[in-house]
Amino acid sequence: MPAYRAPERGDPQVIARRIAEGVSILAERLHRLPQAYPHWHPFDPAAYFDLYPEQVPALVRIDRLGATLDVTLYADLLSPAFRRAERFWAAEFCPALFAAGEDDAFAQHFRQRTLPAMQRRLQEAREEIALAGELLYRRGDIAFLAVSAALDERRIHQHRLPADDPTLIELYHSLPTLTLSRSYDILEMIRTL
């Protein structure tokens, strides 16, 4: 959607500002969800968050367990650099990794070309996401601050890291993220009608 679109290339400040604006809109909608959710039968995340239906599986996760509704928005996907890194990972990095043998020409190509190209793209994504997050924190975006899920996201995936690699663990905890998340009591939402 245009409200969430940031330019693919250009001034990093302009790109980060556009990402931050999109994240702020999503955060505000997530924050106001308790007032809207009871009126939707069934709830349509594409319409509510102003997304194309095709975007919902990648951007939105909704889990309902009993009277609890958990909504997570993977707003890092608003970053053009993140999407470029994701496309490169799928189209180039994974095939090159699987083609690489022990120490053959494919492995050499992977180490010399593909891996550094992936690292560059990931660094660009980290910088773009960090800059957008910085803008949101600096301006004290209340909706964003209320639903930012950086700490929760890190805690959830911590178990996947090798315990014997403190450098990787430190890097993991320093990664910026724009993920938004909030849990709601559905019964409480219905009572406020």
Please write down the HEC assignment for all residues of the chain: CHHHCCCCCCCHHHHHHHHHHHHHHHHHHHHHHHHHHHHCCCCCHHHHHCCCHHHHHHHEEEEEECCEEEEEECHHHHCHHHHHHHHHHHHHHHHHHHHCCCCCHHHHHHHHHHHHHHHHHHHHHHHHHHHHHHHHHHCCCHHHHHHECHHHHHHHHHHHCCCCCHHHHHHHHHCCCCCEEEEEEHHHHHHCC
Task: Summarize pLDDT for 93-114 with one digit per residue, the tens.
Answer: 999 988 988 888 998 999 899 9
Closest Cα partner for 113 from 126, 125, 97?
97
User: Considering the domain boundaries, does residue 193 fall inside one?
Assistant: no
**What's the confidence (pLDDT) of residue 14?**
95
User: Considering the domain boundaries, does residue 115 fall inside one?
Assistant: no
* CA angle centred on 145, ends 58 and 35, rounded to 5°: 70
User: Considering the domain boundaries, does residue 134 fall inside one?
Assistant: yes
- By residue range, what is the domain housing residue 150? 2-80+125-187
Q: Taking the mean position of all CA atoms in its chain, how far away is CA 74?
A: 3
User: Considering the domain boundaries, does residue 98 fall inside one?
Assistant: no
**C-beta neighbour count of 44 within 10 angstroms:** 12
Overall average pLDDT of the 151-172 stretch: 72
Task: Summarize pLDDT for 64-75 with one digit per residue, the tens.
Answer: 999 999 999 999
Task: Summarize pLDDT for 168-186 with one digit per residue, the tens.
Answer: 777 777 778 899 999 999 8
Residue 132 has pLDDT above 90, yes or no: yes
The answer to whether the beta carbons of residues 74 and 51 sit under 8 Å apart is no
Share of the chain above pLDDT 90, in %: 60
CA quadruple 75, 176, 129, 98: dihedral sign: negative
Task: Summarize pLDDT for 46-93 with one digit per residue, the tens.
Answer: 999 999 999 999 999 999 999 999 999 999 999 999 999 999 999 999
User: Considering the domain boundaries, does residue 132 fall inside one?
Assistant: yes
Look at the chain and report how many structural domains it folds into.
Answer: 1
**For tokens 């990648």, what's the residue?**
58
User: Considering the domain boundaries, does residue 106 fall inside one?
Assistant: no
**What's the confidence (pLDDT) of residue 60?**
95
Residue 142 has pLDDT above 80, yes or no: yes
User: Considering the domain boundaries, does residue 85 fall inside one?
Assistant: no
User: Considering the domain boundaries, does residue 143 fall inside one?
Assistant: yes
pTM, entire model: 0.85
